[in-house]
Amino acid sequence: MDAFIKSFTNKKVKYGSFSTLMIILLIAIVIIINLVVEQLNLSFDMTASKNFSISDDTKEIIKNLKEDVTIYALVRTGEEANMFADYVGQLTFKRLLEEYANNSSHIKVEYKDPYLYPQFVDQYAENGEQVSTNSLIVVGPRRNKIIASSEVVTLDYDMTTYQQYVSSIDIEPRVTNAINYVTSENTSTVYTVSGNDDVLLQDSLKSQISQANFDVKDVNLVTSDIPEDCTILFVTQPMRDWTSDEAEKVSAFLQNDGKAVFALGYVGIDYPNLGAVLQAYGVGIGKYIVIEGSANHYVLNNPLYIIPEIQTHDITASIQTRSLRPLVVQGSGIEELAVKKTSTKIEPLLVTSTQAYGKTDMSSTTMSKEAGDASGPFNMAVAVTDSFYTDVQHTTKLIVIGASSFIDENINAALGGPNWTMLIDSMNWLQDKNDTIYIPSKTPDNTARLSITSMQIAVYTLFSIIILPVLILAFGLAVWLRRRHS
């Protein structure tokens, strides 16, 4: 018995008992913390893109709401936590909707079972179309907007694995912009120009413009006049010049306080009629392809893939704040003409480095600068304002971008969506929508891409292959020498 009692005074038993007690105490603390966190409903979004929480921009928008908005989620009873669980995980969608309600007293979220309340759903159906389960109906003071279940995430198809995958999560931009739409006094209409084999806006870009509360329509200038409800004309690269009649239609529209976006560069075709429209506002498209001479200003080891310097402007404030860098591929410089109206103000938005040059000979086989090539820097995008007074104040606004590739979906996605963000911000500026914030779609973390300049590649390579191994070797040698002589 004495030996048994003395065994508890043994140092090993003491240390073991202490360790056991500490482990039990630690487990108890972890359990208590988990119980407290569960009661407080605390969670943290650790994803790089913050896919499971609403952004500060959205919080700012809904904080300023003055009118009531109701978000109806059409879901089977008992399945509220499973909405879009296959794509964004269980409870995620439900918690996102709760964040909207928690951040604004003017937002209410209600769940409606479409099988129990078919008449409720039918009253919001447009043109007799069915509203599917897992859709959202956002109802405001003046109008409502349906967000179809197919619009909440964007699915793509991987040709190598033959499987579908989520290419973008559109929950926040859809819901936030629907709230903006149903509370706005009025909406704007963007007309894309066609009729001359123009580069067309992809459906994905039209969808993004629509999410920003613009109606998107098409107008064929060859056969039709510009509609009266057109607030922004979107001109992309035509494969032949406009006729004089088409040019007159656009000129008349712009002179009557018109707003327009031009995304076009030099493709070896002369555009005297289209060019005359731009020349009236002091700008022209350079007849050359810009090649960037600074390795810090291009990516993918290709000097045609230019990352221009962003100039300070209301349009670029958003992408600067988010540290986004627009990508211009095979672009041309926007030249400011020596002769222009005194009422016209031209503001650079994107500018190349001073080492850039313009290749004038399209048949040249070298990327090096040759005699006759234009010297940089070049304006790759500008904002033009023509403001004058007759009997009333008149203001014409243009955004001119020196590359039709600027609107391309793949080029936009290469650096995380900066081009389309800038396009939407440009349209807001054209319409003086200072209270509108563009909420871009989020990219799942597993599909995020990293793009770095050639100079960054060289620095990272030097550090990882030479500097880091040398430092490790030196540290090991120092430790060995110290131990050897101690």
Position 480 scores a pLDDT of: 75
CA 419, distance to chain mean position in Å, is 7
Nearest Cα to Cα of residue 61 among 436, 441, 440, 320: 436
Report yes or no on 181 lying in a domain.
no
Confidence of residue 60 (pLDDT cuts 50, 70, 90): confident
pLDDT over 90, % of the chain: 39
Q: Tell me the DSSP string of 151-214.
A: GSEEEEEETTTTEEEEEEE-HHHHHHHHHHHHH-S--EEEEEEESSSPPPPPHHHHHHHHHTTE
Does residue 107 sit in the same domain as residue 226? Answer: no
Does residue 434 sit in the same domain as residue 457? Answer: no
Which domain does 21 fall in, by range?
Answer: 11-40
Cβ(147)–Cβ(89) below 8 Å: no
Top-ranked range on mean pLDDT: pick from 74-83, 131-140, 215-224: 215-224
Does residue 350 sit in the same domain as residue 384? Answer: yes
Q: Reading across the β-sheet that carries 107-112, which strands appear in turn?
A: 107-112, 69-74, 136-139, 144-147
Helix runs in 218-294, H state only: 244-255, 272-279
Position 50 scores a pLDDT of: 61
Does residue 61 sit in the same domain as residue 24? Answer: no
Report yes or no on 457 lying in a domain.
yes
Does residue 383 sit in the same domain as residue 456? Answer: no
| Domains held by the chain: number | 4
Q: How far apart are CA 80 and CA 85, in angstroms?
A: 10
Q: Which residues of 262-289 are buried (b: 16+ CB within 10 A; e: fewer)?
A: bbbbbbeeebebbbbbbebbbbbbbbbb
Does residue 293 sit in the same domain as residue 324? Answer: yes
pLDDT in tens, 334-369: 999 988 888 999 999 999 999 999 999 888 888 888
Alpha carbon separation from 203 to 12, 163, 172, 191, 200 (Å, rounded):
72, 22, 19, 14, 9
pLDDT in tens, 221-238: 999 999 999 999 999 999
Does residue 459 sit in the same domain as residue 390? Answer: no
Does residue 428 sit in the same domain as residue 468? Answer: no
pTM above 0.85, yes or no: no
| Secondary structure letter of residue 442 according to DSSP | B
Report yes or no on 3 lying in a domain.
no
Q: Which residue has the higher pLDDT, 71 or 27?
A: 71
